[in-house]
Chains A and B, each alone.
Chain A
């Protein structure tokens, strides 16, 4: 049985008596970027300090996808099944093409280099949304070629479906990190690592955001901060926080916490039925089977 606490009614549907932590990897320096590739049935993640993008097929061995990965961080797939990467200390968003070449999608905004793209999500129209805090420039042993920060803000950006235009959609967060759409894509959650909370916006048809409001705070005396975040088919929001993963329902009510050994960095749903939750920590990747499926990744 999985360790949980602060549970409310409804959590038993998510974490079942059969739920337990399986260890997928345990030798990482800084695990991040968990994402499931539905086309190949493989799980992808990164080791930022270990400078590698990894993949693993259940029942098989893991293998290197890209190394060096230029400190790659958040991962997702686009509508064509290409890996899209929040490049962190490489200061760009890039795409791994099917022929394994790399295409830079965005590296600057209004003439300034990006800070360090951290997490990333693709909307059903093909637009790419990413957060851009500056940690990749400052964190010990995560540096890239240029560690100077130029922007006076930590933005959230949207790359248009045709890839031609990048727009700044949020400019006023302290340290935006994880981001996730609701199932109907009418709302976008963005969390803030320094403030340890999640805010939610309405997503407008023109790709802008409005009606910013607080969704929830991530409470607890334990170590752990708002980092990775995903949503399940019932609208529940899963976010890293003190002690592990905090699950809130769509109204922001706390349903419970999944206690994870180590410092949790991110999470992603996977397996064919999307009912496995893959969890990255500094050192490890875990998998836990849940009673509810997550929203699929393209």
Chain B
């Protein structure tokens, strides 16, 4: 079907990133303004869902309606509680501080999968903690009896710049947007089999982006999955390649559909709306678009 992108908000001049459908509204991180905005259908203006987030970017609801946030400005993953308080979950992998957690998704077991990247903007406070020697997808699992301790694992050993992460509805595959926009950088949509022991097998590449004299064709940043297994991906820009696009991939990597967005550089996307068929798309320039899609999103958790 034809997608008709409706401009819901912006552009406000700042990259708008993480999205999470809370059951009634779409939450959107305005990381550099230290806020999470809330978009409700019919409302003229977004409401402020959370202030002073210190650059929370990727957000995702988990079991019990807990909202997890990748707090780039503090190099950690936090839990934003319904009472308004925020608690730190984890900050380190094997004793060494994270880079800047970027995007997160939560699986049926409540495990938090997130990409951990370098960021041009430094985190708060004294720069006394070195970065990890790698940029990887990590996973937090609540362990122990009672379930109060987070166990953190490194999952990818072949990523240099992981961005969007999503787990397939059957939870057999982890999709990673590996996008390194430097010349010669790898720009791939990857599918890693999730093995029985929880680790990942070698990935297959579902799609790859090239380059020409105008520069690299910008690869994928944010991704999400539909309930039938499709992967929805934000990629492209105006300076090279086919332009700013939201792709719909079949699980085997075949492009099912692609849609140009009206303006801006697409950054992230998520399904919302009463029937979960509305795709919200954010841009680097600070737009929020939405469109009916003919697909249904894969939603495990929402606000309590």
Contacts and interface: CB of A to CB of B under 8 A. Distances in A.
Contacts, number: 62
Describe A's contact surface by its main secondary structure.
loop
B123 interface: yes
A255 to B, nearest CB: 28
Interface in A132-158: 134-135, 137-143, 145-150, 152
A90 interface: no
Among A49, A134, A138, A145, residue most surrounded by chain B Cβ atoms (within 10 Å): A138
B54 A30 contact: no
A263 B84 CA distance: 35
Interface residues of A, number: 21
Contact of A141 (B52, B54, B73, B97): B97
Interface in B34-84: 51-52, 54, 73-76, 78, 80, 84
B126 interface: yes
A189 to B, nearest CB: 24
A282 interface: yes
Interface stretch (B10-18, B86-94, B149-157): B86-94
Interface residues of B, number: 22
A134 B52 contact: yes
A49 B87 contact: no
Contacts of B126: 30, 139-140, 263, 282
A135 B126 CA distance: 10
Contacts of A49: 128
A29 interface: yes
B52 A30 contact: no
Contacts of B91: 140-141, 143
Given A134-B52, A137-B54, A149-B52, A143 B85 contact: no
Interface string B130-174: 000000000000000000000000000000000000000000000
B124 A135 contact: yes
B48 to A, nearest CB: 11
Among A140, A146, A147, residue most surrounded by chain B Cβ atoms (within 10 Å): A140
B125 interface: yes
Interface of B: 51-52, 54, 73-76, 78, 80, 84-88, 91, 97, 123-126, 128-129
- Which 9 A/B pairs are nearest by Cβ-Cβ distance? A139-B125, A149-B52, A138-B124, A148-B86, A138-B54, A146-B85, A143-B88, A147-B86, A139-B124
